[in-house]
Chains A and B, each alone.
Chain A
Amino acid sequence: MVATTTGAAAEHRRPGPRGGTERRGRVRRFLDRYWYAYALVLPVVVVVGGLVILPLAQGVFFTFTNINEGNIANPVLGREADYDVVGLANYLNVLSGDPAYGSFWGVLLRTLVWSGICVAFHYGIGLGLALLLNRPMRFRTLYRILLILPWAVPAFVSAFAWRYLFNADYGLINWLLGSVGLPTPVWLGQSPVAMVAVIIVNVWLGVPFMMVALLGGLQSIPGDLYEAAEIDGATPWQRFTQITLPGLRPVSSTVILLGVIWTFNMFPVIYLITGQNPHTRILITYAFERFFSGATRDYAIASTYGVLILSVLLVFAGVYLRALRSQEAD
C-alpha cells in the first residue's frame, strides 16, 4: 500500500529532458517506489552475506595459497600468518590425479557412482512405496507415519544403529545371513563391501523424503485423468507410463536434483559408519580428512576440493535444468 502511494506521487515528478537527469530521476523513482521492499530484504542480505558469501569468498581465496596449520595466523602462539599465494598450483596438483593429493579422478568417479546408485534406489523405492500408499487401504495413515520415521531420526542415531547391525561378529545382519546359510562378510572393513554397506544405509535414510514428495505429486494428479485413460483403453501399465509418470515430472525433476546434490555431499553417513576408509571415500569426506587430519592440516587443498565440488554441482545443475527446460518446451 505504502509503496503504491509513493509510486503514484513520484509519477508526477517528470524526469528532466537530458539523459543524466533522466537516469537519476529513474533511480530515484525506483527507490521511491520500492524502498520498502529493499528495507525488508536487507536483514536477510546481511545475514546471508555474512554466513555464506564471506566464508565462500575466503575459501576461494585459500585455494590460491599454500595455507595450512603451520603457516596460518595463530593468536595463541602469537604467530603472524606467513602463507604465500601460489597461483593455480593447488588446482594443478589436485587435477593431476596424484595420490598424494587424493587421487581426484578416482574419488570423483566413486562419488558419481555413489550418487547415481543412491538416488536411483531412493527414487525407485520411494515411488514404489508412494504408489502403494496412494491406494485406499486400512491403516494408511499409520503406514505413512511409520515409513516417514527414518527421516525424523537424527542421522547419527541411525548411523550408530546401523553400525551395530553391520557388526561382522554380533550384528543382526550377519546373524540373519548366517542362519540361512549365506556368506557373512566383514561389512565395515577395508574392502569395497563397506561401500555396499554405506549405500544400503543411505538408501534407507533417503527413501522417506522421496516417498513423501512423490506421494504429494501423485495426489496432485486429478483422478479423472485415470478414468479418461481407462475409457480410452489404457492398461494399468499404460496408465502408469502415460498419466502417472508425466504427471509426476515436475516433482520428480526437483527431487532428483535435490537428491543428487544432497547425496553428492552426504558426509555424515559415510563418516559415521566407516570413518576414514579409502574404499568409501568421496570428495566431501576427503576434503574433511585433508582439513582435520594428516601431519599438517592442509587447508588449501581442502578448500580446493570444496571449490571443485561446488563447480561439479553447478555444472550438473545447469545442464540438468537446461535439459528439463528444452524437454518441457516441445
Chain B
Amino acid sequence: MAGVSYVKASRVYPGNPPVRAVDQLDLEVNDGEFLVLVGPSGSGKSTALRMLAGLEDVDEGAIHIGGNDVTHTPPKGRDIAMVFQSYALYPHMTVGENMGFALKLRRVPKETIKAKVAEAAKMLDLTPYLDRKPKALSGGQRQRVAMGRAIVREPAVFLMDEPLSNLDAKLRVETRANIAALQARLGTTTIYVTHDQVEAQTMGHRVAVLKDGLLQQCDTPRNLYERPANSFVAGFIGSPAMNLKTVALTSEGAVLDGLTVPLPRSVVAGHDAKTITFGVRPESLRLTGGDEVGMKLTVDLVEELGADAYVYGSVDIGGTAERFIVRTDGRTPPSIGSTVNVTLRDDNEVHLFHPESGARLETTKAPTA
C-alpha cells in the first residue's frame, strides 16, 4: 500500500516544437484511493500513467511512490501492476500462466503461485478458464484475466489505462461496478485512465481532469460537477453537457434573450469586462408558461429517455442562434419545431466563468462540503 505523488512532473517529446504531453503535473494520490485521470483524446492521460509505470521518461520534476523517489527507477522496482487497454496478455501462455508470470519471475514457490492464482481466479470467475489460452476467451474474459494478472501480484499501486474500452456498453457498465467493488475490497491505491467522464464520475473517489497535458482540476466527482474550476471542466463533466454561453453583462446581470439573470454583486463588481461566460446545466432550466419571463427556445430535437426528456433547441441571443439543452418531464415533451419558454429553476444554479481565461468566478452559493 502506498500513496503516489507527481511533483511538477513533465514529459516533453522532442520535436519542433517539442510536445509537452504532460506539463508540470502536480498530483497527490492518497493511500488506498481510487483516482481517475480523465480528459479528451491526446490530453496526456496515458503518458502520465506510463510515467508512473516507468515506461516513459520523466523529463522534469519527480514521481514518488510510497514516499520513495522512483523517478529513475525501472518499472520492475516500482511495485506496480498495470492493466493495458489491449490487455497485453501473453498469447502463448495459459490464463493461469499469465496470471502467475510475475510471481514465477520472482521465484515464488510453485505451490504459492498456484494458490494465489486460484484465489484471484475465484474472485474474478475465471476458474474454469485457467488452462485456456487467451485467444480462446471472450473480450470480457480477457479483460478479467488482465485484472487477475494485476491482482495476483499484490502490488502497491494498480495502474489501468482504459481497461474497459474494448467491451460492449452493457458489459462496460457491469465491469465498471465490479472493478470499483474489487478496489474497495482490496484497498489498493488505483490510478485509472479513461476518456469517458461517466466512467470517471461513477468510479473515482477523486477525478483529475487533464487537458493538453495540464491538470485542470482534481476533486471529488460531486465537487467537480457542482463547482467546476473552469469552463473546460464545466463543459467536459456532465452529460448532456452544460449550456455554456458568453453573453453581455449589464448592471442587472447576464443578458440572455428575454431573460436577464441577476448575478451576485461580488461577481459583477470584481469583473470589469463587458461579457461573461455563463453556464447552466440542462436540469437547472425548465419550460414555463408564456406569462413568465424567459428565453424563446425553438425546439430542434427531443431526446426521450423515459422519465426525462432532453430538449435541444436554439435561442436567439444578440442576433446569433445559440444551442441550449433543457431537461424536462418525459411525459409531456414539446413537439419539434415549436417554440417554448425557458427559464431558470433557481438563480443560484448558475456557473460563471471569465470570458477569456475561463476561470471560475465565485458565486455567493456556499461550496458543498
Query: Contact residues of A with B, CB < 8 Å?
Result: 222, 224-225, 227-234, 238, 242-243, 246-247, 249
Contact = CB atoms under 8 A, between A and B. Distances in A.
Contacts of B106: 233
B84 interface: yes
Interface in B74-104: 74-76, 80-82, 84, 86, 88, 90-92, 101-102
B32 to A, nearest CB: 21
Interface of B: 53-55, 74-76, 80-82, 84, 86, 88, 90-92, 101-102, 105-106, 149, 153
B76 A233 contact: yes
Given A222-B86, A224-B86, A238-B105, A230 B92 contact: no
Nearest to B55: A227
A234 B86 contact: no
A231 B76 contact: yes
A231 B92 contact: no
Nearest to A231: B75
Contacts of B80: 231
A213 to B, nearest CB: 19
B84 A234 contact: no
Contacts of A230: 54-55, 74-76
A224 B105 contact: no
A227 to B, nearest CB: 5
Contact of B82 (A231, A234, A249): A231
Contacts of A227: 53, 55, 75, 82, 84, 88
A225 B90 contact: yes
12 contacts: A224-B84, A227-B75, A227-B82, A227-B84, A228-B82, A228-B90, A229-B90, A229-B101, A231-B54, A232-B102, A247-B91, A249-B92
Given A231-B75, A231-B81, A233-B102, A225 B88 contact: yes
A249 to B, nearest CB: 7
Contacts of B76: 230-231, 233-234
A243 B89 CA distance: 11
B163 to A, nearest CB: 13
A243 B102 CA distance: 13
Contacts of B105: 232-234, 238
B53 A242 contact: no
Contacts of A231: 53-55, 75-76, 80-82
Q: Which of A222, A224, A234 has the most CB of B within 10 A?
A: A224
A204 to B, nearest CB: 33
Given A225-B90, A232-B102, A247-B91, 8 more contacts: A222-B86, A227-B75, A227-B84, A229-B101, A231-B81, A232-B101, A233-B106, A246-B91
Contacts of A232: 101-102, 105, 149, 153
